[in-house]
Structure 1
Amino acid sequence: MNSFTLRSLVLLALLASYWGVYQHGRAVERAEAAQASAKRDSGDRLAEVIGERSARQEEHRRAQAQDEGRTDAQEQRTIAYAGAAGADAAGQRLRDDGAQFAASVSCPGADTAAVARGQAATRAAMVLSDLLTRADARAGELAKAYDNARIAGQLCERSYNALIN
């Protein structure tokens, strides 16, 4: 064999060995990249599962806080309605007493001036009794509206705080 052929064979063997080393390096690099990608994907899936779990727990906590707020608001409404019923009963007794007082105000006697004053006093007592009746009814309506607005506001506040905290 001549030296040219021998050199060519050595060069070819050298190139083949470099090519083999290069291909081996690429295969190792691909394997490491695939392993890193699999590890990253596994971490991403784990983070996603943990995130979903914590989101569900937070949603459950918020829903529970809102349910507690609604239950508390219903209890407050029940108490307010019972108080309003008691106030209505007391107001009715007051109106009845006022009407009885207005009906009983009179000044019997022979003096016509005294009778006229008695009739004027009766009319004034009836007007005051009617005014008391209307004022008491309106106060009851306003108290009920205030209680409902206060309870609704507190429920709204509790629901908002449950979402924020």
Structure 2
Amino acid sequence: MTSIWLRILPYIAALALVAGALFGAYHHGVTVTNAKWQAEWNTRDTRDAEARATNEAAERTREQVYQQSINKAVQDGQRIIDQATADAAAARTAANGVRGAADALAARLAASEASGNSCTAAASKAASRAAMVLADVLKRVDQRAGDLAEAADQARARGVTCEQAYAGLSK
């Protein structure tokens, strides 16, 4: 029996060497294939990272352009609001002159009512009261018109600012 084993042993050894060589070749092929794919994946990951960095830089630039356009719209809007406020102050000053004239007219009518004869005193008194009421209404209307004009000017300025900011974003 030992002689059979001694005769078969070289064949078994040769078969083991062939099986070992085949396994080694297979393992080497798998390793080379894995290394090839890993290199391709690394290349793809590098390209993806570069593309992501490029896209982020482009988006940051676009965001800065948007922010600058919004800042400019806000500055322009504030300038318009400041101008509207200055115009309203100038209108108030002019309106104070009109109100002063109405007060002077009412005072003059009241003074003329006090001095006069008794015949025309009743008619003069009614006319002077009507003129004083008219002067008071004129003052109130002028004040309210000034307030409304100021509010409308500021609302318009804010609307223009909003439109400019939107136009800057939608470009």
Q: Shorter-chain TM-score: what band?
A: 0.7 to 0.9
Matches within 5 A, 1:16-165: 16-105=20-109, 106=112, 110=117, 112=119, 114-165=120-171
SS at structure 1 position matched to 2:97: helix
> What is the number of equivalent residue pairs in this alignment?
164
Q: What is the distance in 1 between the residues matched to 2:26 and 2:42?
A: 24
**Letter matched to residue 101 of structure 1:** L
- The alignment's TM-score, normalised by the length of structure 2, stands at 0.81
- The alignment's TM-score, normalised by the length of structure 1, stands at 0.83
Describe the superposition over 1:10-60 as per-residue Cα deviations: whole angstroms up to 9, x where unpaired: 322321221121011111112112201211221121122112212221221
Q: What is the distance in 2 between the residues matched to 1:18 and 1:161?
A: 71
Determine if the alignment matches structure 1 residue 15 to structure 2 residue 7. Answer: no
Q: What is the distance in 2 between the residues matched to 1:152 and 1:109?
A: 56
Gaps of 5+ in 2: none
Gaps of 5+ in 1: none
Structure with more contact order per residue of length (Cα contacts < 8 Å, sep ≥ 6): 2
Pairwise CA distance, 1:80: 0.7
Contact 1:103 1:122 in 2 (8 A): no
Q: What is the distance in 2 between the residues matched to 1:25 and 1:139?
A: 91
Contact 1:62 1:162 in 2 (8 A): yes
Q: What is the distance in 1 between the residues matched to 2:116 and 2:41?
A: 112
